[in-house]
Amino acid sequence: MLQDTEDRRGIGSVDTAMTILKVFARDSGPLSLKEVSDRTGMATSKLHRYLSSLVAQGMLSQKARSGRYDLGPFATELGLSALARTDFVNRTADVLPDLVAATGCTAMLSVWGARGPVIVRWERARNHIVTALGLGTVMPLVHSATGQVFLGFAPANLTDPLIGESDAKLVEDLKKTVRRDGYSSVGGDFIPGLYALAAPVLNWQGEAETVITLIATDPALIDPNGPAIGALIRTCRSVSLPSGDADA
């Protein structure tokens, strides 16, 4: 019975170790024993034992000269392994059917390619729209909702070389608007009669790994007060990784 109770409640020492590691994960650099103590509320004598064990296991490292602690080599290995298991395309594709059912719109999933945003998945609504867009289509950065979301949430070193001769102020205004709103929409400009609404799926750095775009012939799709925007943003957030820097 004691073992069963322990299994359900967890192991206190493991919980304490995770609390300590979370302090380092949320900070931007090495921390002293006192700084960790202040953040965790643990007495330094008890904390020192935990830090020593975490150093021995490679989860933390200790600077020889300053004595400060930082994340260690095994923490890096563990983080990289977790990221490698995060298949944004498949996990995002899995939520598209429910989004399509909720909105009645066709959805497409795009990733960043060598020439810009590339469509890699379609989820067709019952009243699917016949369009020239298809798998492998490269979307324009400035004039499509998909491209504008990548402009706002992808690293500038990826997007800037592909902007071309577009007006610099227009591009900067687009970036600010998309980051503020958490989505982008276009209506009838890129493809006459077709309305599009797009939002990012973010990685742990707050950058767009994929973009989900809803398309329809009904202008109600891009109504700021309409239900589609809320459904799209909630769906994207559900498959995004937690990030303190993410705006959406």
**116 and 42 in a common domain:** no
How remote is the C-alpha of 146 from its chain's centroid? 15
Strand order in the sheet with 195-202: 116-123, 106-113, 208-216, 195-202, 184-187
The verdict on 235 and 117 lying in the same domain is yes
C-alpha pair distances (Å), 74 with each of 13, 20, 26, 36, 49:
19, 15, 17, 20, 19
The verdict on 118 and 234 lying in the same domain is: yes
pLDDT tens digits for range 62-76 = 998 899 999 998 988
* Residue 224 belongs to a domain: yes
Say whether both 214 and 108 belong to one domain. Answer: yes
Query: Do residue 38 and residue 120 come from a single domain?
Result: no
Co-location of 21 and 79 in the same domain: yes
At 79, is the pLDDT very low, low, confident or very high (cuts 50, 70, 90)? confident
pLDDT at 6: 45
Nearest to 42, CA basis, from 74, 75, 13: 13
114-118: Cβ within 8 A, 24+ apart: 115/162, 116/140, 116/141, 116/147, 116/150, 116/162, 117/141, 117/144, 117/146, 117/147, 117/150, 117/211
Q: Is position 73 within any domain?
A: yes
Residue 161 domain boundaries: 88-239
Residue recorded with tokens 């067709």 = 124
CATH at residue 211? 3.30.450.40
pLDDT tens column, 97-106: 999 999 999 9
Enter the pTM of the model: 0.67
Strand partners, 51: none
Same domain flag for 54 and 96: no
Residue 53, in any domain of the structure: yes
- In angstroms, the CA 77 to CA 85 distance is 13
- Number of domains into which the chain is organized: 2
Same domain, 43 and 157: no
In a domain, 246, yes or no: no
What are the tens digits of pLDDT across the range 94-147?
999 999 999 999 999 999 987 889 998 989 888 766 667 778 888 999 899 999
Instruction: Tell which of 84, 117, 151 closes a domain.
Output: 84
Whether residue 95 is found in the same domain as residue 210: yes
* Number of residues assigned to the chain: 248
Q: What is the pLDDT of residues 148-170, one digit of tens each?
A: 999 999 998 889 888 876 678 88
Nearest one of 144, 153, 101 to 125, comparing CA atoms: 101
- Whether the per-residue pLDDT at 172 is higher than 50: the answer is yes
Higher pLDDT, 86 or 223: 223
159 & 177 share domain: yes
Q: Which residues on adjacent β-strands are paired with residue 31?
A: 69
- Domain shared by 140 and 212, yes or no: yes
- The whole-angstrom separation of Cα 84 and Cα 74 is 15
Q: For residue 168, give the DSSP letter.
A: H
**Would you say residue 247 lies in a domain?**
no
The whole-chain average pLDDT of the chain stands at: 86
AA identity, residue 11: I
Q: Which one of 60, 84, 108 terminates a domain? A: 84
pLDDT at 83 over 60: no
Tell me how far apart the alpha carbons of residues 96 and 36 are, in angstroms, rounded to a whole number.
42
The pLDDT tens digits of the residues spanning 204-217 come to 889 999 999 999 88
